[in-house]
Amino acid sequence: MIRHKNDQDLAQTALTISLSRARSVAIFVAKLTKETPSFKRREYLAIKDCIEVLGNSVDRLGQSVKELGRAGHAVAGEDFMWKMSNVQTWVSAALTDETTCLDGFSGRAMEGKVKKLIRLKVVHVAQVTSNALALAGAIVGAFGFLYAAQPQDKTKTDAGYPPGIGVKNSLIMLGVINFVGMLFTFLVPEPKGKSLEELSGEAEVEK
């Protein structure tokens, strides 16, 4: 069970915000196909693929929000780690979906206002999702390790802790989790100090 409610609430809030913004972007991209009279063929295909993967991202983030809530009530160390592993897997997959959407607009042939609008909105969601993934990883590192590092022999565990997987196996698992998190950090492009409106071109449209 997560001992510090504030940490769970923070991660839950981050995931909820990520889910909300992912839904908003998915709706925005879907509306583009109805409100814009014509697209280049590559633009249309990229938008169609983007709608699909953003839908997957929304589903996975929704699963993550629910699973994190269940992890907060887990009693056994293995059950807690399993649920947190599910959260990290689904949030990581959601982040992959978001970057996959961006990949569809790569290349000079895709340059234009549509690409700028979609790219900036999706990049923003990806950054929020990346933050949520980092918070989930922090919970595993701060609290899950205490459970997982307990000896497998229940007669040797610390008072109040169930059997775990041992210190060595826990360190290996934590190292893998951190490495995966680092890889996803490099996948998310940075806005380079510019506002979302500047990068997307929305500021110019409003003038």
Can you tell me whether residue 149 is helix, strand or coil? coil
Q: What is the pTM of this model?
A: 0.67
pLDDT-derived band at 200, boundaries 50, 70, 90: very low
Q: How many residues does the chain have?
A: 207
Q: Of 157 and 9, which is predicted with more confidence?
A: 9
Q: What is the CATH number of the domain that holds 14?
A: 1.20.140.40
Query: Measured between alpha carbons, how far is 6 from 11 in angstroms, rounded to an integer?
Result: 9
Query: Measured between alpha carbons, how far is 148 from 101 in angstroms, rounded to an integer?
Result: 36
Count of domains for the chain: 1
- pLDDT higher than threshold 70 for residue 59: yes
Cα 158 to Cα 9, 33, 136, 148, distances in angstroms: 27, 59, 25, 12
Structural domain containing residue 40: 5-206
As a whole number of Å, the end-to-end CA separation of the chain is 53
Residue-level pLDDT at 76: 58
Residue-level pLDDT at 204: 45
pLDDT-derived band at 159, boundaries 50, 70, 90: low
- pLDDT higher than threshold 70 for residue 176: yes
Residue-level pLDDT at 26: 92
Query: Measured between alpha carbons, how far is 12 from 17 in angstroms, rounded to an integer?
Result: 9
Encoded tokens for 153? 């022999």
All residues at 6 or more sequence positions from 131 whose CB lies less than 8 Å from its CB, including other chains: 14, 18
Give pairs for 2-8: CB < 8 Å, separation 24+. 2/71, 2/72, 2/80, 2/139, 2/143, 3/143, 4/143, 5/72, 7/138, 7/139, 7/142, 7/143, 8/68, 8/71, 8/72, 8/139
Cβ-count burial 111-140 (b if 16+ within 10 Å, e if not): eeebbbbbbbbbbbbbbbbbbbbebbbebb
Cβ-count burial 149-164 (b if 16+ within 10 Å, e if not): bbeeeeeebeeeeebb
Residue-level pLDDT at 37: 59
Provide φ and ψ at 42, rounded to 5°.
-65, -35
pLDDT-derived band at 203, boundaries 50, 70, 90: very low
% the chain with pLDDT above 90 = 19
Region 41-46: what's the mean pLDDT? Answer: 82
Residue-level pLDDT at 94: 93
